[in-house]
């Protein structure tokens, strides 16, 4: 038995133990025991994935009673990479769950399905054939659905969110199933090795590609299949949301990678354009919605759509450039897409865990009622701040390195040796750069808002005033997550090299380490060494600090209970800007896209038209995709349902006549 | 050897711009004052302001966090990084950190974010208002800024700013090509917005309706205010230096020599101050645009940038 096989077996064993633990332990210490086993399960995933990433081999067969090939699990290097990413998030979420899961989220169902969910996610990238891929895909979906279901007793809104989630995940599953079925029919086998022999330039391959793109895009929360995200993630507790948004979306990305890297590499250029368009629209739409959201978890949920959009933008650019023979830039774009995925996993899980900590401490997710948490919860604030910097792609975080790589790949893509590669590329690349730039700008605003309104300034409600820092067991995963965000940003070189190895042998990016751990992308002639950068900034800081200390020694700071306050003397916390007012200029600028509904109600004092007693403002931004695309379909289905109800009035005579007609139809059809 | 030379040039740039930035602001204010028929306070006033502010006790609001102290320093360091990395006096790239366009923009954004957080931290309505408007403008400026420099990067085939400047020096025909002109106009508008100048922001008023930058620094005092002001001035000076080197690249040092550095220092000083005078004269004749007209201005500049990029692919 090889190390890889042992790793996969140990995951299965740990799943059984974790399920048993969830069922057998009493509530008072269930979170501690089950959380520990879930952590171990995810840790086993990290080890197994690392072995696969390092090139370990081994295969685990699952015999079935069905007349087909036995299911085989054998992750390649790319699968290993995704397994590591998913499992790291799993460890963070489980650790956090030990401290945070209480009452409903510590129920037997919750911990049991958490283990199943983690197990499913960790083994999807190990699948080597369609059937086992779909099997673990469904285990993952089932686990996450049950996990959400565990909270329905305490919160009324969970049920409706869950309906959306189930419907959308089954829609995704349907697309993936149909796509794979089409490919399997073409190839005459269900193994991924068989599927890889298909010629991507047939129309059947293109139809299968479209179906798979929709299916995997739905899991990766892309527009227009993202509608479940802003409903489901706010209902989930912090650690569940972190696992779903930090890890599960990566499985969607893995599916897309599987298609464009392993199964159907060298596809036609229009595939790339289509993926880029899907990604670009998702990125812009996601960040626009995130920037105007006032609920912290809704904000983070929409920002996931944005980040996944960027990942797909990179993937699409890679396909397009490869079709245009700009191989070096194509490979760089692929590495960038994977870097984006990794960095997103790190910062988004930290952000959701931070949101979970805030929810526990203040019992409030509405940014308009938070504030001043930085001084009350310094650990959470520091971790959330570092992760928010990653999400805003500021140096020197992982998000910055990833976006830098993507932009470099794009601007070097349109020309090879001074020749324009294709008209499509020379229009798509500038547009993509503009989309990324606008996305980055809006992400900056979004996360300045999220951090600034929640953690800075003064508390806007009593709950926020009484918030306390979370216990140590919850701070540990927050700290690890924040360190990952910074660490991957400061030492990106080895990571990029590992990614370069993982996408081989079809893709061979020329990425090396330079300096201490910087990236040297030879193919596109781009160099970035974050450590030198940090050192330079540190050197520049020295003289500033010297002047600062000299000045501070002679002129110490005074604290005034009544600052200048814009000239006013009755300054109350309610007079501060809130998240809603912070985004107000943006709502106006993007009025046509966001279509906010605003309701202003003015109560006058007495008879006067000029003396106002109170002003009540209500603003809500709805999801245009939901109201314009899904609502009509749902309404149509509902109308069809009402019509169908007329056919069933409970009368036995009518049912008998239906059977009779049906029988007649069958007989006529048979006799034809 | 080139590494050592590059470090010397970076040091020269730093010292020069820390000295030059307040003078530039002084010149801009003085020219404006004279054109408006006022005596003005002289070109050294900004320097005297900084000295005065450093010798005062900062007053911080009760309940504000460490951000009020750290934010200004962050802004200053980010502006200093700009001065060290941009090709101002010379084009020799520092080892391992070339003046990459995307890195430069991100460095600038660190300063933008620091300032916005300082505005929020004081917990007043003004600070939040300035911060919100500032970030909205910053979000809309970024695409323009990146596209404009992307367009400039195409003839050079690289996103490293010092190489772009070198290409323009070696081949001046590039400078007056239509693509380059379009990109320069887009870049100039983006830089005006980024540095809070007219018509996006009025740097010389404290009127609620017009404030962006000033609203955020209202609660800062003493050395906090000194860092914020110095940081903003440095950013303006560095970006004007970049703009002037893109329009008129002559005089910049490409091979290290003592005489060359002296010439480089002299020319960049003259270029920046001249551009400052032009800016100041232009601002006399401009009124501030309504806040919600600013996106239109930026959208126009974005269109120019996009036109420049696609044109350079399809026409050239």
CA distance from start to end of chain A: 60
Measured from the Cβ of residue A543, the count of other Cβ atoms closer than 10 Å reads 12
Residues B223, A526: C-beta atoms closer than 8 Å: no
Give the C-alpha separation, B11 to B42, whole Å.
28
Rounded to whole angstroms, what are the CA distances from B3 to A225, B6, B13, B95, B96?
A: 51, 5, 15, 6, 10
* CB < 8 Å to A529, chain B: 96-97
Q: Using an 8 Å CB-CB cutoff, list chain B residues near A585.
A: 132-133, 136, 291-292
Q: Out of A431, A515, A581, name the one closest to residue B96 (CB).
A: A515
Q: Is B62 in Cβ contact with A559 (below 8 Å)?
A: yes
Residue of A nearest to B102 (CA): A404
The predicted pLDDT at position A569 comes to 55
Q: Is the pLDDT of residue B158 over 70?
A: yes
Comparing CB atoms, the residue among B84, B123, B142 nearest residue A438 is B142
The answer to whether residues A443 and A287 touch, using CB atoms and an 8 Å cutoff, is yes
B289 touches chain A (CB under 8 A): no
Comparing C-alpha atoms, which of A140, A41, A144, A26 is closest to residue A95? Answer: A41
Partner residue opposite A427 with nearest CB, options B76, B136, B310: B310
Q: Extract the tokens encoding B251.
A: 């005089």
Structure tokens given for A370? 């938070």
Sign of CA dihedral A462, A468, A469, A470: negative
* Helix (H) or strand (E) run with residue A565 in it: none
Q: What angle do CA A656, A658, A662 make, to 5 degrees?
A: 120
Question: What residues of A are in contact with residue B123 (Cβ under 8 Å)?
Answer: 371-372, 456-458, 571, 573, 576
In contact, B168 and B158? CB cutoff 8 Å: no
Q: Please judge whether A434 and B306 are an interchain contact, meaning their C-beta atoms are less than 8 angstroms apart.
A: yes
Contacts A566 to B, Cβ<8 Å: 124-126, 218
- Please compute Rg for chain B using Cα positions: 19
Give the pLDDT of residue A570. Answer: 57
Distance in Å, alpha carbon of A407 to nearest chain B alpha carbon = 8
Cα distance between residue A573 and residue A459, in whole Å: 7
The predicted pLDDT at position B253 comes to: 83
Q: What is the DSSP string of A395-453?
A: TTSHHHHHHHHHHHHHHTTSEETTEE--HHHHHHHHHHHHHHHHHHHHHHHHHHHHHHH
Distance CA A465, CA A371 (A): 8
Q: What is the pLDDT of residue A652?
A: 87
**Which of A252, A197, A198 is CA-nearest to residue A229?**
A252
Query: Which DSSP symbol is given to A295?
Result: B
Rounded-to-integer distance, Cα B172 and Cα B164, Å: 12
Mind telling me how many Å the CA of A435 is from chain B's nearest CA? Answer: 7
Pick the residue from chain A with its C-alpha nearest to B227. Answer: A544
Please give the full DSSP string across A110-150, using - where no structure is assigned.
HHHHHHHHHHHHHHGGGB-BHHHHHHHHHHHHHHHHHHHHT
Within a 10 A sphere around the Cβ of A170, how many other Cβ atoms?
A: 15
- Match 């320069």 to its residue by tokens: B184
The full 3-state SS of chain B, as one line of letters, equals CHHHHHHHHHHHHHHHHHHHHHHHHHHHHHHHHHHCCCCCCCCCHHHHHHHHHHCCCCEEECCCCCHHHHHHHHHHHHHHHHHHHCCCCECCCECCECCEHHHHHHHHHHHHHHHHHHHHHCCCHHHHHHHHHHHHHHHHHHHHHHHHHHHHHHHHCCCEHHHHHHHHHHCHHHCCCHHHHHHHHHHHHHHHHHCCCCCCCCCCCCCHHHCCHHHHHCCCCHHHHHHHHHHHHHHHHHHHHHHHHHHCCCCCECCCCHHHHHHHHHHHHHHHHHHHHHHHHHHHCCCCCCHHHHHHHHHHHHHHHHHHHHHHHHCC
**Chain B residues touching A437 at Cβ < 8 A:** 142-143, 145-147
Nearest to A557 among B58, B94, B123 (CB): B58
Q: How far is CA A244 from the centre of its chain?
A: 7
**Local structure of residue A368 (DSSP, 8 states):** G
How far is Cα A245 from Cα A243, in angstroms, rounded to an integer?
6
Spell out which residues of chain B touch residue A434, defining contact as CB-CB under 8 Å.
143, 146-147, 302, 305-306
Cα separation, A150 vs A326, in Å, equals 50
In this complex, the residue of A528, A559, A588 whose CB is nearest that of residue B60 is: A559
pTM: 0.94
Cβ pair B77:A533 closer than 8 A:
no
CA distance A599 to B294: 26
Q: Do the chains contact at A441 and B62, CB–CB below 8 Å?
A: no
ipTM: 0.93
Work out the burial of residue A633: count CB atoms within 10 Å of its CB; fewer than 13 is exposed, 13-18 middle, 19 or more buried.
Answer: exposed
A597: number of Cβ within 10 Å:
9
Disruptive mutation site among A430, A512, A569 for chain B (greatest number of B CBs within 10 Å):
A430
Please, are residues A576 and B128 in contact by the beta-carbon 8 Å criterion?
A: yes
Closest CA to B212 of B196, B225, B199: B196
Set of chain B residues whose Cβ sits within 8 Å of the Cβ of A559: 59-62
Cβ-nearest to A533 among B97, B126, B227 = B97
Other CB atoms within 10 Å distance of the CB of residue A513: 17
pLDDT for A282 equals 94
Closest approach of B243 to chain A, Cα-based (Å): 20
Where are the domains positioned within chain A? 325-554, 599-646
* A444 contacts B113? CB cut-off 8 A: yes
| A273-312 as b/e: b if 16+ CB within 10 A | bbbbbbbbbbbbbbbbbbbbbbbbbbbbbbbbbbbbbbbb
SS3 sequence, A157-192?
HHHHHHHHHHHHHHHHHHHHHHHHHHHHHHHCCCEH
* Nearest-Cα residue of chain B relative to residue A516: B96
User: Tokens 């500021």 belong to which residue?
Assistant: A394
Nearest by CB to B123, from A551, A559, A576: name it.
Answer: A576
CA distance A586 to A583: 5
- Which of A168, A266, A270 minimizes the C-alpha distance to A210? A270
By DSSP bridging, strand A612-621 and strand A60-62 are unpaired
Exposure string (b/e) for A243-258, b if CB count within 10 Å is 16 or more?
A: bbbbbbbbbbbbbbbb
Q: B206: pLDDT confidence band, cut at 50, 70 and 90?
A: low
Tell me chain A's radius of gyration from C-alpha atoms: 27
- Return the pLDDT at A509: 80
> Does residue B316 have a pLDDT over 70?
no
Structure tokens at A457: 């300034």
Query: Between A444, A451, A547, which is nearest B138 by CB?
Result: A444
Query: In terms of residues, how long is chain B?
Result: 316
- Residue A235 near residue A192 (C-beta atoms within 8 A): no
Within 82-141 of B, beta carbons closer than 8 Å to A belong to 84, 94-98, 100, 102-103, 106-107, 109-110, 112-113, 116-117, 120-129, 131-133, 135-136, 138-141
Whether B37 has its CB under 8 Å from any CB of chain A: the answer is no
The answer to whether A459 and A370 are in contact (CB under 8 A) is yes
* Contact yes or no for A133/A88 (Cβ under 8 A): no
Q: Is the dihedral of CA B177, B183, B189, B193 positive or negative?
A: negative
Cα A412 from chain centre: 28
Q: pLDDT under 50 in chain A at which residues?
A: none
Q: Chain B window 56-75: which residues touch A at a Cβ cutoff of 8 Å?
A: 56-65, 67, 69, 73
Q: Does B310 touch chain A (CB under 8 A)?
A: yes
Question: B103 and A404: CB-CB below 8 Å?
Answer: yes
Return all residues near B199 (Cβ < 8 A) that are at least 6 apart: B192, B286, B287, B288, B289, B294, B297
CA–CA distance, B268 with A75 (Å, rounded to integer): 58
- Which chain B residue is nearest to residue A406, measuring alpha carbons? B102
Distance between CA atoms of B117 and B107, rounded to whole angstroms? 16
- CA distance, residue A296 to nearest chain B CA (Å): 17
- In angstroms, the CA B304 to CA B137 distance is 18
Alpha-carbon dihedral sign for residues B225, B231, B234, B239: negative
Q: Which residues of A touch B9 (CB under 8 A)?
A: none
Find which of B83, B95, B97, B190 to mutate to test the A interface (most A CBs within 10 Å of its CB).
Answer: B97
- Chain A CB contacts of B97 below 8 Å: 528-529, 532-533, 536
């Amino acid at each position: 038995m090889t190390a890889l096989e042992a790793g996969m077996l140990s995951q299965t064993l740990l799943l059984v133990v974790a399920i048993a633990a969830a069922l057998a332990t009493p509530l008072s210490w269930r979170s501690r025991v089950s959380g520990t086993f879930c952590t171990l399960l995810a840790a086993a995933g990290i080890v197994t994935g690392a072995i696969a990433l390092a090139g370990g081999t081994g295969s685990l067969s699952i015999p079935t009673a069905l007349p087909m090939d036995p299911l085989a699990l054998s992750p390649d290097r790319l699968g290993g990479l995704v397994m590591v990413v998913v499992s790291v998030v799993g460890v963070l979420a489980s650790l956090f769950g030990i401290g945070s899961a209480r009452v409903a989220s510590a129920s037997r169902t919750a911990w049991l399905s958490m283990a199943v969910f983690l197990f499913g996610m960790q083994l999807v990238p190990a699948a080597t054939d369609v059937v086992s891929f779909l099997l673990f895909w469904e285990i993952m979906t089932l686990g996450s659905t049950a996990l959400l279901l565990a909270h329905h007793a305490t919160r009324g809104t969970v049920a409706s969110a869950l309906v959306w989630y189930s419907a959308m995940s089954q829609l995704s599953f349907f697309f993936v199933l149909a796509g794979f079925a089409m490919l399997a029919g073409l190839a005459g086998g269900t193994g991924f090795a068989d599927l890889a022999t298909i010629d991507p330039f047939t129309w059947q391959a293109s139809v299968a590609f479209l179906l798979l793109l929709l299916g995997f895009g739905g899991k990766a929360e892309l527009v227009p299949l993202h509608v479940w995200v802003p409903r489901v993630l706010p209902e989930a507790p912090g650690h569940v949301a972190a696992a779903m948004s930090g890890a599960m979306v990566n499985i969607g990305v893995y599916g897309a990678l599987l298609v464009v890297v392993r199964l159907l590499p060298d596809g036609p250029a229009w595939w790339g354009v289509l993926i880029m368009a899907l990604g670009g629209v998702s990125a812009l739409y996601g960040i626009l919605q995130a920037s105007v959201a006032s609920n912290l978890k809704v904000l983070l949920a929409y920002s996931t759509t944005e980040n996944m959009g960027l990942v797909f933008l990179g993937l699409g650019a890679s396909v397009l450039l490869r079709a245009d023979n700009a191989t070096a830039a194509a490979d760089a774009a692929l590495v960038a897409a994977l870097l984006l995925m990794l960095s997103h996993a790190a910062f988004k899980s930290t952000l959701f865990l931070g949101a979970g900590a805030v929810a526990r401490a203040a019992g409030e997710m509405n940014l308009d009622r938070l504030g001043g948490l930085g001084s009350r919860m310094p650990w959470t604030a520091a971790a959330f701040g570092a992760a928010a910097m990653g999400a805003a792609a500021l140096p020197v975080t992982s998000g910055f390195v990833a976006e830098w790589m993507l932009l470099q790949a794009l601007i070097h893509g349109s020309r090879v040796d001074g020749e324009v590669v294709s008209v499509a590329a020379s229009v798509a690349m500038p547009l993509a750069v503009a989309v990324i730039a606008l996305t980055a700008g809006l992400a900056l605003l979004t996360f300045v808002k999220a951090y600034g309104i929640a953690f800075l300034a003064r508390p806007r409600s009593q709950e926020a005033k009484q918030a306390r820092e979370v216990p140590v067991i919850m701070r540990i995963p927050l700290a690890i997550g924040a360190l990952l965000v910074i660490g991957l940003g400061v030492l990106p070189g080895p990571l990029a090299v590992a990614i370069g190895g993982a996408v081989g042998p079809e893709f061979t990016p020329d990425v090396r380490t330079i300096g201490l751990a910087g990236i040297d992308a030879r193919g596109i002639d781009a160099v970035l060494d974050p450590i030198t950068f940090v050192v330079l900034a540190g050197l520049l800081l020295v003289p500033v600090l010297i002047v600062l200390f000299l000045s501070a020694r002679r002129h110490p700071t005074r604290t005034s209970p009544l600052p200048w306050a814009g000239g006013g003397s009755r300054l109350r916390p309610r007079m501060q800007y809130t998240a809603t007012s912070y985004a107000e200029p943006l709502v106006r600028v993007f009025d046509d896209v966001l279509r906010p509904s605003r309701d202003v109600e003015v109560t006058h004092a007495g008879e006067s038209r000029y003396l106002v007693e109170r002003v009540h403002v209500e603003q809500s931004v709805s999801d245009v995709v939901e109201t314009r695309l899904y609502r009509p379909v749902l309404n149509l289905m509902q109308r069809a349902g009402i019509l169908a109800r007329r056919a069933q009035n409970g009368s036995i005579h009518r049912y008998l006549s239906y059977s009779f007609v049906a029988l007649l139809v069958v007989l006529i059809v048979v006799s034809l | 050897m080139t590494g050592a030379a590059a470090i010397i040039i970076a040091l020269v740039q730093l010292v020069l711009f820390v000295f030059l930035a307040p003078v530039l602001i002084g010149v801009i204010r003085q020219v404006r004052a004279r054109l408006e028929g006022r005596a003005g306070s002289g070109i050294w006033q900004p320097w005297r302001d900084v000295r005065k502010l450093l010798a005062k006790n900062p007053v911080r609001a009760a309940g504000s966090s460490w951000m009020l102290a750290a934010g200004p320093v962050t802004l200053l360091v980010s502006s200093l990084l700009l001065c060290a990395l941009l090709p101002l006096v010379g084009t020799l790239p520092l080892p391992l950190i070339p003046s990459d366009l995307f890195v430069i923009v991100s460095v600038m954004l660190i300063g933008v974010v620091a300032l916005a957080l300082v505005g929020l931290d004081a917990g007043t309505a003004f600070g939040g208002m300035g911060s919100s408007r500032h970030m909205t403008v910053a979000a809309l400026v970024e695409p323009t800024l990146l596209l404009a420099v992307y367009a400039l990067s195409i003839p050079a085939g690289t996103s490293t700013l010092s190489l772009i400047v070198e290409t323009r020096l070696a081949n001046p025909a590039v400078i007056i090509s239509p693509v380059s002109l379009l990109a320069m106009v887009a870049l100039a508008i983006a830089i005006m917005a980024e540095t809070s100048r007219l018509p996006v922001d009025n740097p010389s008023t404290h009127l609620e309706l017009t404030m962006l930058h000033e609203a955020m620094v209202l609660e800062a005092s003493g050395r906090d205010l000194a860092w914020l002001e110095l940081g903003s001035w440095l950013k303006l000076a560095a970006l004007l230096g970049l703009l002037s080197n893109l329009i008129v690249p002559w005089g910049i040092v490409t091979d290290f020599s003592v005489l060359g550095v002296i010439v480089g220092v002299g020319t960049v000083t003259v270029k920046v101050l001249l551009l400052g005078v032009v800016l100041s004269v232009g601002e006399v004749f401009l009124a501030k645009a309504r806040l919600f007209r600013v996106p239109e201005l930026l959208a126009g500049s974005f269109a120019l940038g996009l036109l420049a990029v696609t044109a350079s692919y399809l026409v050239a």
